[in-house]
Chain A
Amino acid sequence: MVTVNYDSVKKAYGDTIAIEDVNLHVDDGEFAILLGPSGCGKTTTLRCLAGLTQPTDGTITLDGHDVTDVHPKNRNIAMVFQNFALYPHMTVRENIGYPLKVAGKSKDEREERIDEVAEMLEIPELLDRDIANLSGGQQQRVALGRAIIRRPAVFLMDEPLANLDAKLKISMRSRIKVLQREMDITTMYVTHDQEEAMSLGDKLIIMDKGHIQQIGSPDEVYHQPANQFVAGFIGSPSMNFVTVRRDGDRIRADDAPDTFDVELDSEVADRYRDHETFTLGVRPQYFEVHTERTDNAIEAAVEVTEPQGDEQIIEVEVGDQPVSLTVVAPSAIDAERGDTVWLTLDDDLVHGFDTDSGRRIVGAGDQNRGVASTPEGEMTSD
């Protein structure tokens, strides 16, 4: 059982804090994803496990063994880099077999394993080629090959798909997922692409500004975001946020009190009983668009429509200030720039966030439960 544990890990460069209060746990065979915008500390966190960066504070354990001060070469981890980091002066075969060569394994054993790995990655015909002559996708697979050949305890990947073009990204994504499942190796993967994270990960560790925002499954972070940051980061197009004022069961947008004035179910409204104002969060997919006047709806003016095949993205503006909203609607809805539409909310699917702390407001008995139930789900948000 190879489990990974970070305990109060902190990394500072002089006065600048790169990561702080990093506590996380990855189970044996789990695919954990460090997700966040540039500069959030995800790569630093990964590198601490690799041993390429020394934590300023805290410990990292592999299966209970404290590896915080152990040299990278002794940690039995493998890593795939964003730019592949293949050895330019070696052939594919030599690249893949290199870790075994350094470990002193015999030539026969190496050849056998190299062939095995090449089969697995479907690149046996490339074995004797030079690195320079390979395409991005091929190089990626060679890098993967080099990583898996020694059956490491942990698999680390630092934005491995970032340098590939869109179509290749998607096919490599599934290949990586299948590979990880087959080999059942504990994996930590860094990416800034939330779509990628959602499709690959068992466990998402979302970071921002050096702190963990939330740890949870793709489902959990999507439906039960811990705070406004996570809610806005996950999901595409991003969730809409509007500051609203509560008046009994009604909520009214401060910036568009006439046009954005709806009544919520009492049960739902009850969640926010302790808040006079809060930030309402609604995903673009959770509005219903009506081309005719409807009750209990938000009146909005269409700015731009972006056809997407079966669906369309409509950007609307509400009120004078104005409040901009992004809405995803079926293509069937006929709306053009300048038209007025009425948007209704699905009460069950809206979120509310505290305007000061950004934390999601949860209440007893609501469908979208808070994430406080799992131990490592504790998040710090700011």
Chain B
Amino acid sequence: MRRAAALAAALLLTVSGCTGGGDEPGDKPREGVLRVLAGSELADLKPILDQAERDIGVKVRLEYAGTLDGVRQVVDGRADGRYEAVWFSSNRYLSLHRDAQRRLRTATTTMISPVVLGVRRSAAERLGWHTRPPTWADIAEAAAGHRFTYGMTSPAASNSGFSALVAVASALSGRGGALDAASIDAAGPKLTDFFAGQTLTAGSSGWLSDAYLRRQGSSVDGLINYESVLRSVGASGKLREPLTIIYPRDGVVTADYPLTLLASAPAHAADAHRRLGEYLRRPDVQRRIMTETHRRPVNPEAAPAEPAAIPPELPFPARPDAVQALLAAYYDKFRRPSRTLYVLDVSGSMKGERIEALRTALVALTGGAGRFERFHNREEVTLIPFSGTPGQPVSYTVPAEAPEAELGRIRERARELTAGGDTAIYDSLMRAYGVADEQAARDPDRFTSIVLMSDGENTGGLEFAGFRARFAGLPERVRGVPVFPILFGEAAVTEMGALAELTGGRTFDARSQPLDVVFREIRGYQ
């Protein structure tokens, strides 16, 4: 009897083991489950994907990555076996990699959204853009004349910024074909005009919107982002002044969100991919996508009656060297240069592996990191190591040409960092704001931000409450400088969150990923 019961129980266990709905991440491929490496902006599809599971029995598990990081995972094969599909705003960047094609199979376009301008109504009216849409050249002219300022994401970190960069460069190149290195050079002066108006940068489209909402009414007239993001911001009820959507009349670059099966995916995943693709393109689902996420349908049967016309699509470069040259010129020449201050904890608790990780992370930014993640030409970098008191700030300015010698000096300084002593976070931060203020008095026209890396609680000097009070009294020109706290070791998570909130920054987590990866991610926000 007992044996029979045990047998029955074992059978039951086997059965439930096969069909149970465990949600553990990183497990093996399973029938009916599609593990998808996706752009973070697709989080807004969750209700629709939940409905898909109920309607067609395909469970979608999205894991998020930035476009460029996702591309890296596909190209070097890390995505194989961990995911069955990838789903980013576009496969264009991916296709520049020669090896990418053989790692991908069927791509199903699911929805589209052009990258356009959202301009606060009064500014749009002041510029006359609400009645006659401008060309990219008109926008560049307004930017150069200080009549228009905007926020845009960092093009090496985020697809909306990359699309905008390609659109404006294509339009201003004067060519009718895809960009090449020569046409980028030719468009250089006008592109510098255009980017003179960029006063806000971000590593992701979502954060860009948040940063705009925080600053609205002050120094930023608008945003360059996906039409869908701009409409979502408009519908959020958080805008003090509505955003008028402006479609540059000489063309745009459009995201088309291809749900793409990986070549390594097993047959059951191919089937799930096909069924999910068909489901997402059903007219009723397409309409729901349109209503809830403001992206446009791709199925002509679901097209709205009177859609705002999308301007012509500008050619997207297919040559990797053209894209390289464009990104390099953006960071090293066109955009306003950055001013970055690194407030670095070298207290006793940082001894050993931690200080070594910090050295490595900093050294990577002097050349070892990806081409567009290192310190850029013209960038002003200040290192402020601290323990019980702030150390002596040392500033470096990477020259516009031949940056290697200065980068070498930063590298040398990073290698010399040694640990010992207490942790005076807020005294050191105040010191950083003081340095930023002196620098801004001398040279105001830069993107300025502070990175705070600490592995523990504040143990000396000013407390957070005291810092908060002093922050309110800072001069106007530095009160907008955000702090990006890195959560490392035993960092005070809540307090760091409050600090980011107070200064308009955001936290980055280096407890779950290596410090150098986090340092590189922050580059998108500098």
> Are the chains A and B members of one assembly?
no
B: which residues have CB within 8 A of A? none
